[in-house]
């Protein structure tokens, strides 16, 4: 699975900036931001981000900023963080002046082009933590979301606030809030799946309120997917363009795969999560759904349908959808239903599925308990 990245600026984010020159070139200028060491340690211990430092150091190596005044304090910061368990996977430093306008200098991406490989890196669910407009512009240029640490020295202008409002996922001066956001923010993901048959875009918030925006081109399928959002209290957007001119198979199956993959991303950190969910009889159709997000795929299906289609949706595709979801989400599913009305039966299954998901994904953000004796899920 592609890696999520946590890009971090240095000055004003990890180390306090010292006006008027904003250069940290002596020991008396080195002060860590409040709460940053503890929270970076927690991030390293409980989250799976690939950690990258990206910083502009104006004119480093020139007479105005000799390198020997930089490295001792840079290495002190690195050693201090490493002592608390936080180690950068990569460190990138641009030494140019702003007037040179080189692509390696933030907000340029010249030092970071290797992260633009979607097979290796999940930029849609990555973050840039910074305190300046250039950090938010870098986030925009990379296609990641921004976390703005509000600076008392260099605040964004109202125009910049407006320009980056779609990029900034969180604006704060509190590292406790940043950690809490990142820990719970993992459950809010954007995911795309593209094949020769379908193009699918999904936005999922496992801690949502039941909002749905669904369009697959199959009306009854859209109606069923809306049940997952509403009764699971998930915010769910699914936009699918499939080869419906041929038939419905690829659209339904691939949507199940893509939705399962989105859940696998959203539930990557299972600490504090219930893991199991079950839902018993609903409506007159007597549907039962059991789910276990335990990292292994398996499905038991005991539901028969007499009609060939409900709406435009072939009934044979109900199993394929849930099987695809189970495989991609790596979860166990046990689904059974009895009843007479075919519409009521499948709607009851989708509603019970939603309720089971809601129960299983419930999470205590203050708990690091992992619901497994194996120690891994």
122 annotated active-site: no
CB 273 within 8 Å of CB 291: no
**DSSP-derived 3-state class of residue 167:** coil
Other beta carbons less than 10 A from residue 220's beta carbon: 17
The whole-angstrom separation of Cα 56 and Cα 260 is 40
Catalytic one among 11, 94, 122, 222?
11
By DSSP bridging, strand 212-215 and strand 188-194 are unpaired
Query: Which DSSP string corresponds to 191-256?
Result: EEEE-SSEEEEEEEETT--S-EEEE-S-HHHHHHHHHHHHHHT-EEEEEEEE-TTT-SHHHHHHHH
Q: Which of 143, 126, 142, 136 is nearest to 5 (CA)?
A: 126
117 annotated active-site: no
Find tokens 């759904």 and name the residue.
289
The whole-angstrom separation of Cα 209 and Cα 150 is 29
CB 264 within 8 Å of CB 332: no
Tell me phi and psi for residue 156, to 5 degrees: -70, 145
- Alpha-carbon distance values, 337 to 8, 252, 256, 260, 343 (Å): 50, 20, 20, 22, 12
Q: Which of 269, 14, 29, 245 is nearest to 135 (CA)?
A: 14
Catalytic one among 9, 94, 222, 235?
9
Find tokens 């190596």 and name the residue.
61
**DSSP-derived 3-state class of residue 274:** coil
The whole-angstrom separation of Cα 77 and Cα 84 is 11
* Helices and strands, number each (H, E), in the chain: 9, 16
Residues involved in catalysis: 9, 11
């Amino acid at each position: 699975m592609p890696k999520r990245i946590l890009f971090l600026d240095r000055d004003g984010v990890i180390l306090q900036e010292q006006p008027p020159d904003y250069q940290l070139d002596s020991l008396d200028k080195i002060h860590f931001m409040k709460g940053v060491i503890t929270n970076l340690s927690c991030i390293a211990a409980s989250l799976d981000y690939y950690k990258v430092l990206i910083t502009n150091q104006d004119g480093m190596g020139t007479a105005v900023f000799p390198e020997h005044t930089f490295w001792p304090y840079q290495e002190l910061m690195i050693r201090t963080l490493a002592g608390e368990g936080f180690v950068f996977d990569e460190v990138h430093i641009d030494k140019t002046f702003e007037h040179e306008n080189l692509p390696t200098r933030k907000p340029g991406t010249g030092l970071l082009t290797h992260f633009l490989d979607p097979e290796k890196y999940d930029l849609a669910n990555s973050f840039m933590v910074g305190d300046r407009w250039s950090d938010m512009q870098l986030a925009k240029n990379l296609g990641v979301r921004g976390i703005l640490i509000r600076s008392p020295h260099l605040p964004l202008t109202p125009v910049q606030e407006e320009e980056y409002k779609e990029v900034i996922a969180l604006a704060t001066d509190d590292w406790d809030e940043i950690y809490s956001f990142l820990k719970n923010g993992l459950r809010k993901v954007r995911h795309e799946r593209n094949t020769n048959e379908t193009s699918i875009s999904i936005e999922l918030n496992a801690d949502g309120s039941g909002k749905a925006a669904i369009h697959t081109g199959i009306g009854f399928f859209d109606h069923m997917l809306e049940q997952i959002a509403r009764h699971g209290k998930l915010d769910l957007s699914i936009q699918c363009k499939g080869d419906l001119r041929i038939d419905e198979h690829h659209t339904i199956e691939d949507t199940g795969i893509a939705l399962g993959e989105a859940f696998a991303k959203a539930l990557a950190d299972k600490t504090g999560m219930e893991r199991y969910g079950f839902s018993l009889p609903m409506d007159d159709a007597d549907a039962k759904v059991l789910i276990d997000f335990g990292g292994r795929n398996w499905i038991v299906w005991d539901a028969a349908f007499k009609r060939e289609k409900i709406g435009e949706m072939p009934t044979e595709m109900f199993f394929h959808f849930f099987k695809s979801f189970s495989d991609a989400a790596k979860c166990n599913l046990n689904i059974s239903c009895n009843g007479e009305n075919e519409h009521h039966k499948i709607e009851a299954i989708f509603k019970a599925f939603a309720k089971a998901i809601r129960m299983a994904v419930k999470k205590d953000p203050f708990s690091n308990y992992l619901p497994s004796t194996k120690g891994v899920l």
